[in-house]
A and B are shown apart, each in its own frame.
Chain A
Amino acid sequence: MKTLHVGIGLLMLALTACGNDGGKASPTAGDTLRYVAVGAPATASHDPHGGIGNQSDLTRFALVYDVLTKPGPEGATEFRLATAFEPDGKLTTWTVRLRDDAKFTDGRPVRAADVLFSLRRIHEKAAENFGRLQMFDFAASSVVDDHTLKLVTPQPYAEVPRALESISFVVPEGTTAFDKPAPGSGPYRMTGGNAENAVLERNEGWWGAKPPTRRIEIRAVVDPQARAQAVISGQADVASAVSPATARQAAQNADLKVVHRPAVNMYPFVMRLDREPFDDPRVREAVKLAADRQELLDKVFLGFGQIGNDLLTPADPSSPKDVPQRSRDLDRARELLKEAGHADGLKLTLATTTSYPGMDTAATLFAEQLGEAGIDVEVKTEAPDTYWTAVFAKSDFYTGFFGGIPFTDVARVSLLGDSPTNETAWKRPEWDKAFGDALATEDEAARRRILGGLQRELRDEGGYVVWGTGDGLDLAAGKVTGLPEGPGFDSAFIEQVRVAAP
């Protein structure tokens, strides 16, 4: 035994000794922000126009490239590269004016041609980015002059500035190679590292307010525990998307702070309206009434979030605020089931996966709650790799995901009759028409009223059980200030984050 101990000791020594000569590049505190973001190495990419699989990539692109617009406070749209959007009377042709002081890091000015090139490229990659710019007709769109372009939509579309939020990363016209970073015009430039572990330094030539931090390191880390540990142990300053348990634990630690971004995680239960038994609205209502929303919120998100009212986009400015909260009513649920002909019970299979933390727990708990209403549910966990292709938008009853995107986007991908993934088979021509009418309404308040009505209809008759939304939880060291707190894409814009010098 003794020799063994000595042996291990020697080996440890040898191990710690191997390579002591390399000096550590440790930039002075206050100077550098070390940001650990969600990201897998296999999807880390330099292409800002395809499907951006990693939050780490999105955050880096938001620092390196300029966008036309970004989400602002209270659901407003903040202009970045764009300075004005002027629609024609029919809301089908929009003149976009660009600021004239933006420059790429290679010195070239940012021109309308660069913007149109980038938008077209995003559109070409529709299959990878959920057809995000499908409302535009880029063949008809054109460059007017160096700082003006004309965007055309086949149908009237009042929300063009919002449609361009966040993803409209602009690269120089004619860029074809994206295996390396293309020049950008954003607040930072990439100076080292790689896609998974990038070093960014302040772009002193940026047109906007000077970012307080000289250098930002963005690292992709898959495991939420590892991200949290990085901040707790001082190896990083910010970790995005940590687990609720970590957040609760960190609440007791004065050196750490938790940033809550509302309504970022939503795991609705999805019912298909064109299949039995969900084709019966009474069954759908019974399922919605059987949910104990508070229990789900407390146990899945440890209470970090808001209970849901089956409204798909509660954070969207158009979401109706005057709808009474739906609460649990088991008697009414049983009654509805009996009326629907399921007096002797109902057997269902609920699919779920582990792609997002808590999805499987949510399904398990919901199955239990449905059991109390007389619905016998078997939960089936599918591998996360195939869930989104084999189960999502195909199964009758499963656990879905929405990450805080605006209502118009949700409607476009999931609710219109011709949506690519109309997962609930929500096919109502009059609803579609009302949606089109809303987008043809220039007055914002009126438009929001129509959209709110559509959401209310969906809440009452649609196939989504939105039991709650979980906060996005970012863990940061106490010295970090200025982290974005808005929903959705807002979290990617971290150029105004400040790290206090010790």
Chain B
Amino acid sequence: MLRTRVVIAGLIVVWALGGGLLAPYDPQESVGSPWQPPGGGFVLGTDVAGRDVLSRLLAGGRELTLVALAGAAIAGAVGVAGGLAAGWRDGRTSRWLTATADLLLAVPFLLLALLLAVALPAPAAVIAGTVCGGAPLGLRVARDLVRQVRHAGYVEAARCRGERPAVIMVREILPALAGFAFADLLLRFVLALQLGAAFGILGFGADPSAPDWGRMVRENLPGVALNRWALVAPALALTLLVLAALPVSARRSRPSRRTPVRWRPVGEQVPAGERRSALLQVKGLTVVDANGRGVVDGLGFDLAPGEVLALTGPSGCGKTSAVRGVLDVLEPGLRRVAGTVAWRGSEVRPGRAARRWRRTEVGLLDQDPAGTLNPLMSVGSLVLEGSGRTAGEARALLESLGLDAGRIWDLRPRPLSGGQAQRVALARALLEDPALLVLDEPTSGLDPQTLDLVVRVLKEPGRTALVITHDEDFASRVADRFLRFAEPPASVKRPAPESTPAGAPVLRVRELSLGHGDRPLIQDGELTLAQGEFVAVVGPSGSGKSTLLRALAGLRPPESGRADFQGRPLAWPPTERDAGTLRAIQFVGQDPSDALNPAHRIGTAIARPGRVFGMPVDVPELLERVGLDPALAGSRPGELSGGQRQRAALARALAARPAVLLADEITSALDTGTAAGLLDLLDGLRADGLALLLVTHDTAVAARADRVLRLSDHRLVRTENDVHAR
């Protein structure tokens, strides 16, 4: 479908460029009387000067198309280059560029275009007009996109490798913008075409006898009553040419290379007790993706009142889609093609009925609860939205969740800490006392305190709930029954933390202070990391754990204090560090979604440190070490699941053969089995001397560390390996 459209588009462009060769007459020669209607050898009649319309139509797109292409290319390039410069760093350059763009947008385009048309020859005027009219818009959009990606994991990884801004822009940011740049190019092409046509229509141009669709429209307007085709044909041709640009711009997401999921729920453990009338009954639920491949295949289950059902399985197995299918809130691109959902015995049809059902009966807590809070609404209105409860009840509920309702009631979510925000979302889910509570991956999104609250809620008598989780331990703690989307992973190896003999200290941090101006995050942090040692940093969300890691990686300078690597002081920014230090300290960020550049293949990304530091990298071997199929080297990040991406990012860090690995929540997106495998791998590397500084809130992960440091009240506090001491 897409391919045929591209072929048609290509044909139109070829016609526009080369159609003149097929013209039956000389397009410039007057061969008949003016505005003769079709007939007598003139398929489309004649034009204002008695020339053959068909011949002119065939020949009239060439210059227009070429000029429009040139204009689009230049305007697109200027816009993207300006956007890169303006978005890379906030500051004077950015302000000036933005102001210039605004200025160009403010000067009436018609005036500008007319001035250009008067002042320049026609092709140059079209190009200049496209730049003036198109580049500012492109610049603004590109700038915003650059701002979004400049803190992406892959950009930070490049900065940590000490790569220069220019290199990062060309290698990392530009490819990531390619999709936008291409769409932008097409928009500019359309603008340039319009402009070229408009100039033709307004009568600017060097040679009036040369065929040009725009000029044909103008010339033949007066004769529309005598031969309408002289006007209609070029107008249609212009429209077609524009249309040709469209299918190409309709970018489709690449079909995922993930093998279609065929998991069936196994091991449904029906408690021996009575299977009374089920509250929720799901039968034959089938969900397919845009390509018609099955994501959930014939799922069926019952949920009795007062029952907590856990849906477990590794990441990417379709458990979230299954539940979303039940609730009729599937992600765009997924469709429920079969199955019924019944509530208290009567069917809930998708659409309005399902919506009413969700509103009145279901409480939902998303994977990322803080993200579900509209940043523009106050806590009070967030909790009460769509609810019939009173403010008093809501306040009481907030208080019961350990929040100071009086203080935060009128606040917007932004000043709240991560844990507070999660609890606000929890309160919203619980306020109506829903008959069915749905929790999506509570262990990956919630901080430990909130998670405890959730456990408490689930333990309440009579609570009916669906819990989606990849954490088998958690599931067994809260659920009455399980619905496993796969065999449970082979019993996770949990070697007791070996007391690795602490080697020489590699990283030493002294009196390090971090913060935003007057808001300190960490004060006088002290930390020593020895060769082969595994130190975990825990603490509430927002306490500065990640900031500490990022500072050590060189991504942000400290307010004061120093850090030594192998006895030599670390410099900021990373470009000031020598190659050996850069190579030896590797950082893996928190967010798997942007850890890898969407434009680069996995293999390229993993090989990059080798190119930068000039060392050989065995990509397949690294992939295998992190538990990925070596064949994935040819894939792009968009085709991988979150967990796979996280492992690929780790492989990229390991490719530099670091002495210190700074890892930020690298297991949070992984299912238990994969996470354990990864930690095992790191244990193996520790044996070779790798020092590991890992930020986590997962108690199981922290339990494997040699030492656990806790960040609280802006201080790094030593704990006696007591990760449960909260």
Say if the two chains contact directly (CB < 8 Å).
yes
The interface of chain A, by Cβ under 8 A from chain B, is 224-225, 243, 245-246, 248-249, 295, 298-299, 302, 352, 354, 357, 360-361, 363-365, 367-368, 378-381, 383-386
Q: Are A249 and B207 in contact (CB under 8 A)?
A: no
Which A residues lie within 8 Å of B209 (CB)?
364, 367-368, 379
Q: Are B208 and A248 in contact (CB under 8 A)?
A: no
User: In the complex the two chains form, what is the Cα distance from A418 to B29 in whole Å?
Assistant: 41
Which B residues lie within 8 Å of A381 (CB)?
203-208
Nearest-Cβ distance from residue A220 to partner chain B, whole angstroms: 19
Instruction: Pick the contact of B207: A295, A299, A380 (CB < 8 A).
Output: A380
Instruction: Pick the contact of A299: B30, B204, B221, B226 (CB < 8 A).
Output: B30
Instruction: Pick the contact of B226: A248, A365, A367 (CB < 8 A).
Output: A248
Known: A299-B30, A299-B34, A361-B48. A245 touches B208 (CB 8 A): no
Q: Is B50 part of the binding interface, using a Cβ–Cβ cutoff of 8 Å? A: yes
For A367, the closest partner residue in chain B by CB is B209
9 closest Cβ contacts across the A-B interface?
A243-B222, A354-B203, A360-B208, A249-B225, A364-B209, A245-B223, A245-B222, A381-B208, A361-B49
Q: Are A380 and B206 in contact (CB under 8 A)?
A: yes
Which A residues lie within 8 Å of B207 (CB)?
378-381
Known: A365-B30, A383-B118. A225 touches B208 (CB 8 A): no
Q: Is B33 part of the binding interface, using a Cβ–Cβ cutoff of 8 Å? A: yes
Nearest-Cβ distance from residue B112 to partner chain A, whole angstroms: 16
Which A residues lie within 8 Å of B49 (CB)?
299, 361, 364-365
Which A residues lie within 8 Å of B222 (CB)?
224-225, 243, 245-246, 357
Q: Is B117 part of the binding interface, using a Cβ–Cβ cutoff of 8 Å? A: yes
19 contacts between A and B (CB under 8 A): A243-B222, A249-B226, A295-B30, A299-B49, A364-B30, A364-B49, A364-B208, A364-B209, A365-B30, A367-B209, A368-B29, A379-B207, A381-B203, A381-B204, A381-B205, A383-B118, A383-B203, A383-B204, A386-B118
For A363, the closest partner residue in chain B by CB is B208
Which B residues lie within 8 Å of A224 (CB)?
222
Which B residues lie within 8 Å of A295 (CB)?
30
User: In the complex the two chains form, what is the Cα distance from A135 to B204 in whole Å?
Assistant: 39
For B35, the closest partner residue in chain A by CB is A245
Nearest-Cβ distance from residue B371 to partner chain A, whole angstroms: 30
Contact indicator per residue, chain B 224-236, by CB within 8 Å of chain A (1) or not (0): 0110000000000
Which B residues lie within 8 Å of A385 (CB)?
118
Nearest-Cβ distance from residue A468 to partner chain B, whole angstroms: 15
Interface residues of B in 28-49 (CB under 8 A from A): 28-30, 33-35, 48-49
How many residue pairs between the two chains, A and B, have CB atoms under 8 Å in the bound complex?
65
User: In the complex the two chains form, what is the Cα distance from A354 to B206 in whole Å?
Assistant: 12
Nearest-Cβ distance from residue A201 to partner chain B, whole angstroms: 34
Interface residues of B in 673-701 (CB under 8 A from A): none
User: In the complex the two chains form, what is the Cα distance from A124 to B601 in whole Å?
Assistant: 80
Which B residues lie within 8 Å of A248 (CB)?
226
Which A residues lie within 8 Å of B208 (CB)?
352, 360-361, 363-364, 379, 381
Q: Are A245 and B30 in contact (CB under 8 A)?
A: no
User: In the complex the two chains form, what is the Cα distance from A299 to B33 in whole Å?
Assistant: 6
Nearest-Cβ distance from residue B118 to partner chain A, whole angstroms: 5
User: In the complex the two chains form, what is the Cα distance from A386 to B117 in whole Å?
Assistant: 12
For chain B, which range describes its interface: under 10, 10 to 19, 20 to 34, or 35 or more residues?
20 to 34
User: In the complex the two chains form, what is the Cα distance from A352 to B117 in whole Å?
Assistant: 17
User: In the complex the two chains form, what is the Cα distance from A246 to B226 in whole Å?
Assistant: 9
For B117, the closest partner residue in chain A by CB is A383
Q: Are B34 and A302 in contact (CB under 8 A)?
A: yes
User: In the complex the two chains form, what is the Cα distance from A477 to B109 in whole Å?
Assistant: 40
Nearest-Cβ distance from residue A318 to partner chain B, whole angstroms: 34
Instruction: Pick the contact of A298: B33, B118, B204 (CB < 8 A).
Output: B33
User: In the complex the two chains form, what is the Cα distance from A360 to B203 in whole Å?
Assistant: 10
For A228, the closest partner residue in chain B by CB is B222
For B118, the closest partner residue in chain A by CB is A383
User: In the complex the two chains form, what is the Cα distance from A245 to B49 in whole Å?
Assistant: 12
User: In the complex the two chains form, what is the Cα distance from A245 to B203 in whole Å?
Assistant: 19
User: In the complex the two chains form, what is the Cα distance from A42 to B435 in whole Å?
Assistant: 73
Known: A224-B222, A245-B223, A381-B208. A368 touches B30 (CB 8 A): yes
Which A residues lie within 8 Å of B48 (CB)?
361
Nearest-Cβ distance from residue B216 to partner chain A, whole angstroms: 13
User: In the complex the two chains form, what is the Cα distance from A225 to B117 in whole Å?
Assistant: 24
Which B residues lie within 8 Å of A357 (CB)?
222
Nearest-Cβ distance from residue A375 to partner chain B, whole angstroms: 15
User: In the complex the two chains form, what is the Cα distance from A77 to B651 in whole Å?
Assistant: 101
Q: B29, B204, B207, B209 — which one has the most chain A CB atoms within 10 A of its CB?
A: B209
Which A residues lie within 8 Å of B205 (CB)?
381
Q: A243, A357, A360, A379 — which one has the most chain B CB atoms within 10 A of its CB?
A: A360
Q: Are B226 and A245 in contact (CB under 8 A)?
A: yes
Interface residues of B in 199-222 (CB under 8 A from A): 203-209, 219, 221-222
Which B residues lie within 8 Å of A352 (CB)?
208
Nearest-Cβ distance from residue A269 to partner chain B, whole angstroms: 15
Known: A360-B208, A380-B206, A385-B118. A299 touches B50 (CB 8 A): yes
- If A295-B30, A299-B49, A352-B208 are given as contacts, then 17 extra A-B residue pairs at C-beta distance below 8 Å, sorted by A number, are A245-B222, A245-B226, A249-B225, A298-B33, A298-B34, A299-B30, A357-B222, A361-B48, A361-B208, A365-B30, A379-B207, A381-B205, A381-B208, A383-B118, A383-B203, A383-B204, A386-B118
User: In the complex the two chains form, what is the Cα distance from A136 to B499 in whole Å?
Assistant: 118
Known: A225-B222, A246-B222, A368-B30. A384 touches B203 (CB 8 A): yes
Which B residues lie within 8 Å of A378 (CB)?
207
Interface residues of B in 52-89 (CB under 8 A from A): none
User: In the complex the two chains form, what is the Cα distance from A107 to B221 in whole Å?
Assistant: 49
For A383, the closest partner residue in chain B by CB is B118
Which A residues lie within 8 Å of B221 (CB)?
225
Nearest-Cβ distance from residue A423 to partner chain B, whole angstroms: 21
Which A residues lie within 8 Å of B226 (CB)?
245, 248-249
For A357, the closest partner residue in chain B by CB is B222
Which A residues lie within 8 Å of B223 (CB)?
245
Nearest-Cβ distance from residue A471 to partner chain B, whole angstroms: 16
Which B residues lie within 8 Å of A363 (CB)?
208
User: In the complex the two chains form, what is the Cα distance from A381 to B212 in whole Å?
Assistant: 14
Which B residues lie within 8 Å of A367 (CB)?
209
Q: B35, B49, B204, B205 — which one has the most chain A CB atoms within 10 A of its CB?
A: B49
Which A residues lie within 8 Å of B35 (CB)?
245
Q: A224, A225, A245, A298 — which one has the most chain B CB atoms within 10 A of its CB?
A: A245
Which B residues lie within 8 Å of A380 (CB)?
206-207
Nearest-Cβ distance from residue A82 to partner chain B, whole angstroms: 41
Q: A363, A378, A380, A383 — which one has the most chain B CB atoms within 10 A of its CB?
A: A383
User: In the complex the two chains form, what is the Cα distance from A349 to B588 in whole Å?
Assistant: 70
Q: A225, A361, A365 — which one has the most chain B CB atoms within 10 A of its CB?
A: A361
For A302, the closest partner residue in chain B by CB is B34
User: In the complex the two chains form, what is the Cα distance from A20 to B536 in whole Å?
Assistant: 76
User: In the complex the two chains form, what is the Cα distance from A379 to B48 in whole Å?
Assistant: 17
For A243, the closest partner residue in chain B by CB is B222
Interface residues of B in 257-308 (CB under 8 A from A): none
Which B residues lie within 8 Å of A354 (CB)?
203
Nearest-Cβ distance from residue A354 to partner chain B, whole angstroms: 4
Nearest-Cβ distance from residue A376 to partner chain B, whole angstroms: 13
For B204, the closest partner residue in chain A by CB is A383
Which B residues lie within 8 Å of A379 (CB)?
207-209
Which A residues lie within 8 Å of B28 (CB)?
364, 368
Which B residues lie within 8 Å of A302 (CB)?
34
Nearest-Cβ distance from residue A125 to partner chain B, whole angstroms: 27
User: In the complex the two chains form, what is the Cα distance from A357 to B221 in whole Å?
Assistant: 11
User: In the complex the two chains form, what is the Cα distance from A365 to B28 in whole Å?
Assistant: 9
User: In the complex the two chains form, what is the Cα distance from A385 to B203 in whole Å?
Assistant: 11
User: In the complex the two chains form, what is the Cα distance from A302 to B226 in whole Å?
Assistant: 12
User: In the complex the two chains form, what is the Cα distance from A217 to B208 in whole Å?
Assistant: 37
For A224, the closest partner residue in chain B by CB is B222
Which B residues lie within 8 Å of A361 (CB)?
48-49, 208, 219
User: In the complex the two chains form, what is the Cα distance from A249 to B34 in whole Å?
Assistant: 13
Which B residues lie within 8 Å of A368 (CB)?
28-30, 209
User: In the complex the two chains form, what is the Cα distance from A230 to B28 in whole Å?
Assistant: 34
